[in-house]
Amino acid sequence: MKRNIFWTAVLFVVFGFSLFAQSKGDVIYQVSTLGALQEGVYDGVEPIETLLKYGDTGIGTFDGLDGEMIILNGTCYQVKADGKVYKVAKTVKTPFAAVSFFDTDQKIQITERAPSLAALYDTILKALPTKNIPYLIKITGTAAYVKTRSVPKQQKPYPRLVEVTKNQPTFEAKDIEGTLIGVWLPEYMAGVNMAGFHLHFISKDLSFGGHLLEIDMPKATVEIDYTYGLQLTLPSQSDFFTTTLKQDKEELKKIEQ
């Protein structure tokens, strides 16, 4: 079937692991690249309705970089720059997202308070069977403290992402139950997406959320979905064709903080 908006590059699997995923739940479907978002390619290119055909769990953003996306149990939520959570119409488009059908391959119970977000990440990393494949991650529990951010919708000419995040609104909450959704990707995938952890938080009561900056979650259940494929869809319209895409790891670290 001809697609008017996208041509699709299917990578099973990027940079050399298994050519075919074991099932549709073992594939991360990604729209565009983080490198493109880094350079200010914010025009939405794929409707949420289409995105949900490829996954019930994931993260991303919206047309014009309008806030943070969390897809949980097949529903798409948007955390706008006011810090509030909204359900998203299926006609809204995304310039960047990563989704999959979540299937728990490994479960970890966190029973001791991690002194920092880095310590929580280290606990998860030690449990992974390999650091050479991507993982979809879901963490549920009650956060004693959580700090998130979102970004306001941008207008053309779009600034680069590092400029947007210099003035990002941040939000804090205490004693709040919720879920972290995100991915962990190998170092060799930097530029295509964020190498390492990239997580978004959404509260159980849908009152709070955003891109995760810090969290204290004394007890939590960590569910990990092993993925063996990446289906990468690249825009055929927008500034993607004319933008110089480069990899700046240090700048990406600033953006994520």
Residue 1, in any domain of the structure:
no
Mark whether 125 and 204 lie in a shared domain.
yes
Residue 59, in any domain of the structure:
yes
Task: Note the pLDDT of residue 2.
Answer: 41
Task: Note the pLDDT of residue 249.
Answer: 66
Residue 93, in any domain of the structure:
yes
Cα 56 to chain centroid, rounded? 13
Task: Note the pLDDT of residue 15.
Answer: 35
Mark whether 113 and 11 lie in a shared domain.
no
Contacts of 113 (CB under 8 A, 6+ apart): 144, 216, 218
Residue range of the domain that includes 245:
6-101+229-256
For the entire predicted model, the pTM comes to 0.89
Mark whether 55 and 29 lie in a shared domain.
yes
Task: Note the pLDDT of residue 116.
Answer: 82
pLDDT tens, the chain, 257 aa long: 444 444 343 333 333 333 344 445 699 999 999 999 999 999 999 999 999 999 999 999 999 999 999 999 999 999 999 999 999 999 999 999 999 999 999 999 999 887 788 889 999 999 999 999 999 999 999 999 999 999 999 999 999 999 999 989 999 999 999 999 999 999 999 989 999 999 999 999 999 999 999 999 999 999 999 999 999 999 987 799 999 988 776 776 666 66
Q: What is the CATH number of the domain that holds 95?
A: 3.30.1330.80
Kindly report the number of other CB atoms within 10 A of residue 110's CB atom. Answer: 17
Mark whether 119 and 70 lie in a shared domain.
no
DSSP 159: P
Mark whether 113 and 202 lie in a shared domain.
yes
Please tell me the total count of domains within the chain: 2
User: Nearest to residue 158, comparing CAs of 77, 72, 63, 42?
Assistant: 42
Mark whether 192 and 121 lie in a shared domain.
yes
Mark whether 91 and 113 lie in a shared domain.
no
Question: At 148, which helix (H) or strand (E)?
Answer: strand 135-149
Mark whether 182 and 111 lie in a shared domain.
yes
